[in-house]
Structure 1
């Protein structure tokens, strides 16, 4: 006597069909805007110009996406936020230490984004 059963993989097929319809760009656009707000709030504020000059860009295709946050304010040829973040030397030879404001501002955004994408994928 012989028994045989052909697997249907119903749950597996449903999972992969859901992945096929997933649109991560929509979610990344949302989190790009959230990141801009977080960076604006965290940027050291003297005149307000730098904190209001954040933007983001989402690029990619169905296989890979990137979010890039940038700030348009320059100090000479260097983005001012780089100087604020990492510090700089002065003409008199002193060093002004930077303030790590970018990483703490974006950490909760990254964490929330990972959670949201995981929910979208796993249901």
Structure 2
């Protein structure tokens, strides 16, 4: 006669597998982050190219959620250049330079792909 006895539970294994799953999802966001930066850089109006080359992204993981944020580091005299290109700005002589909506059209396809991927994952469970 052969018998087995098991003591304890699989809590540590379960936690490990949950962390592995989270890392896989962050890897997906990393892919979308790189794609978003490339899309924003190519859509950014160019003079010197500094603003276009200053796009970055950050992935934040908090309990129960993960987020991705895009930001531009080109700031001149306290003014974020990407924002004034987007929304417009006043000039020294009282004129106005009209902004150009380049951020939303550039990043929307990336957001659509994230939603599509998330929906596919949810419906495949």
How far, CA to CA, are the matches of 1:28 and 1:62 in structure 2? 16
Say how many residue pairs are matched: 104
Instruction: Note if 1:64 corresponds to 2:69.
Output: no
Q: Which blocks of at least 5 consecutive residues in structure 1 are unaligned? A: 1-19
1:53 matched to 2:65? The reply is no
TM-score when normalising by structure 2: 0.77
- Superposed counterparts of 1:67-86, under 5 Å: 67-86=68-87
State whether structure 2 residue 100 is matched by structure 1 residue 99.
yes
TM-score (structure 1 length as normaliser): 0.78
Deviations 1:92-111 (A, max 9, x none): 11111100000000110100
Q: 1:109 — aligned with what?
A: 110
Task: Name the structure, 1 or 2, with higher relative contact order (CA <8 Å, separation 6+).
Answer: 1
Q: Displacement of 1:35 after TM fit? A: 0.3
Unaligned runs of 5+ in 2: 1-17
